Amino acid sequence: MSIRFELCSDSNLLAQYYELREQCFRRELGLPDFDGGEDDRDRAGHILIARRGDRCVGGARIASGAPVSEQLNELDLVEDACCMWERFVIDPEVRTVQLVRDFCAKLIDASR
């Protein structure tokens, strides 16, 4: 079964994404107390997920209102025209370089 990418509002798939990011951030980044649950920036942004059937195998938050305004000014970027990709995670069981590339391409499209 192929992996599809979509902006998600399905509560079941979002719950799977939050659980996946909590597990991966704790295990792979060594953050044992990391809380991957939904937060204000999730609710204010958009979540792009990678799914295989009814299973979320990856996701990332697309958030506006970047907390790096000073750096954007230094780069001559307009804050309203920028976004941040946050909490990017792909299940290690399916993670490949090609999947990361495909996901980033979809993030670019979804961020426009």
The CATH label, of 3.40.50.920, 3.30.70.260, 1.10.3720.10, 3.40.630.30, for the domain at 4-111 is: 3.40.630.30
pLDDT digits (tens, 9 = 90+) for 44-60: 999 999 999 999 999 99
Q: pTM of this prediction?
A: 0.90
Q: What is the pLDDT of residue 99?
A: 98
Domain ranges of the chain: 4-111
* Mean predicted lDDT score pLDDT of the chain: 93
HEC secondary structure over the chain = CCCEEEECCCHHHHHHHHHHHHHHHHHHCCCCCCCCCCCHHHHHCEEEEEEECCEEEEEEEEECCCCCHHHHHHCCCCHHHCCEEEEEEECCCCCCHHHHHHHHHHHHHHHC
Residue 82 vs residue 3, higher pLDDT: 3
Given a cut of 80, whether residue 35 has pLDDT beyond it is yes
